Amino acid sequence: MAQNASYGLLKSSIGKKVFMALTGLFLCLFLVGHLAGNLQLFISGQPGQIQFNKYAEFMTTNPAVKILSYVTYFSILFHVFDGLALTLKNRKARPQRYHYKKDSANSIWSSRNMGVLGTVILVFIVLHMSNFWFKMHFGDIGVDAEGRKDLYTVVAASFEQLWYVAIYAISMVAIGFHLWHGFASGFQSLGLNHSAYTPLIQGFGKVFAVVVPLGFAIIPIYMYLT
């Protein structure tokens, strides 16, 4: 009975929105942690290489981090599949698309294009993980002076290519727009509405949507230029 109820919740639009919000907000936390770790790429030369490789080794071997990694993979998959289901359902419910002007009067561009933005981000994540993550876990990438897998050199070599840097910069714009609507919308889907706190959450969400993608975008640009 209880199992049926929770299955029903998962399948309903409201249930989907709640789980999308939970996974989306968890992924926001992931982004903060990931950005903080990646800031070590600003340390140049061999000290930077050694430090980043130490960090990458810790992140792939520490049992607590491993559990968080699995939660991250699950959240990405769940967020993608439910996002797709919700987008298709909304399209079906509203087959004739409103006139552009009418649409834009009612909502901002990013909120109407979460599915498209999400798809660009998904393509980015597949490309990103097939390069860095796959090579770290399964690739034969050589070792640094201290004998650790040399992920730093893989990252540095990737960001020597302008097209690769451009893909990162463009993808971060998509992430920025996705977060611009998604961050505060996540809180709303969880029913966390409050006359005093909601404007604060909305404001913080917008700062988050600019600062975090900008932080990610600056890293490949910096590595390309130095």
**Cβ-based nearer residue to ligand HEM, 9 or 126:** 126
User: Which of positions 24-63 make contact with ligand HEM (CB under 6 A)?
Assistant: 34, 38, 41, 56, 59-60
Distance CA 15, CA 38 (A): 34
- DSSP summary character for residue 149: B
User: Within 10 A of 96 (CB to CB), how many other CB atoms are there?
Assistant: 5
| Length of the chain counted residue by residue | 226
Helix, strand, coil fractions of the chain, as percent rounded to 5:
85, 0, 15
Considering the complex, what minimum distance in angstroms separates the CB of residue 189 from ligand HEM?
20
Q: Treating both helix axes as pointing N-terminal to C-terminal, what angle do 151-158 and 45-61 enclose, rounded to 10 degrees?
A: 120
Contacting residue, 125, 127, 167, 173, with ligand HEM by CB under 6 A: 125
Contacting residue, 50, 129, 169, 221, with ligand HEM by CB under 6 A: 129
The interface mask with ligand HEM, positions 70-89, x = CB under 6 A, is --x-----------------
Binding site for ligand HEM (CB under 6 A): 34, 38, 41, 56, 59-60, 69, 72, 121, 125, 128-129, 132-133, 136, 151, 155, 168, 175, 216, 219-220
